[in-house]
Structure 1
Amino acid sequence: MQQTPQQAIELRIEQLTGHLSEIRRNMEKIIADNHRMREVVRIAESELRKRRDQVQKLESELEGLQNNKLEARARVEHAMEKLDDLISQQGDAS
């Protein structure tokens, strides 16, 4: 049995409607995936900011500790020089 032009048009409309529904479902899935990925990126960026802050804090602490070490070394060297002076003065006095 041959289709009438009206039946052919209705069949084509039905096929196109099915394709449009599939496209809509795929689009909704892509949009949902996009929202999830944006949330993942937002969380990752937040974590990255926290880590950067931690690194900056640790670098600052390290710099302070290195400065303290240099100051302590200078004090020790100064004390050693004074001890050497005292020892040489006592050696001269005897």
Structure 2
Amino acid sequence: MLRLFADLAFRWKIALPIIGLAVLLLLTGGLGVRGISQEVESSTRLTERYLPAISLLLNADRDLYQAFVAERSLLGAGSAAHLQALRDSHAENLQQA
């Protein structure tokens, strides 16, 4: 192998490493473009599919927590109007959840 390289003309001795580096550069660029397109696809899937679901879960969690707080507040003593407001809040939050 070394003898083959030694017998090459000076022009080829200079050109072969440059050609090798150019091929490596193109390969790296192609893999980078492919990786970026996969990242874009993954990001699009995240924004179109998973974020709305996460938003709905967050709203349901908030409503259930508010219903829980109203339920716990019902255990304490209070006026009839306050108790009725807590019952209404509890029912509304359960309905929203």
Q: Give the TM-score of the pair, scaled to structure 2.
A: 0.53
Moved over 6 A (4+): none
Q: Quick one: percent identity of the two aligned structures?
A: 12
For the pair 1:22 / 2:49, whether they are aligned, the reply is: no
Partners in 2 of 1:49 and 1:41 — Cα distance? 12
User: Helix, strand or coil: the match of 1:15?
Assistant: helix
Q: CA deviation at 1:62?
A: 4.9
Higher helix share: 1
Q: Which sections of structure 2, spanning at least 5 residues, go unmatched?
A: 81-97
Q: CA deviation at 1:57?
A: 2.4
Larger Rg: 1
Partners in 2 of 1:63 and 1:11 — Cα distance? 75
1:52 partner letter = L
Q: Give the TM-score of the pair, scaled to structure 1.
A: 0.54
Tell me the matched-pair count: 72
Q: Deviations over 1:17-64 (max 9, x none)?
A: 211111011101111122123224334333212111122223334555
- Map of 1:44 onto structure 2: 50
Partners in 2 of 1:5 and 1:46 — Cα distance? 64
- Map of 1:6 onto structure 2: 11
- Larger RCO, structures 1/2 (Cα 8 Å, 6+ apart): 2
RMSD, aligned CA: 3.1
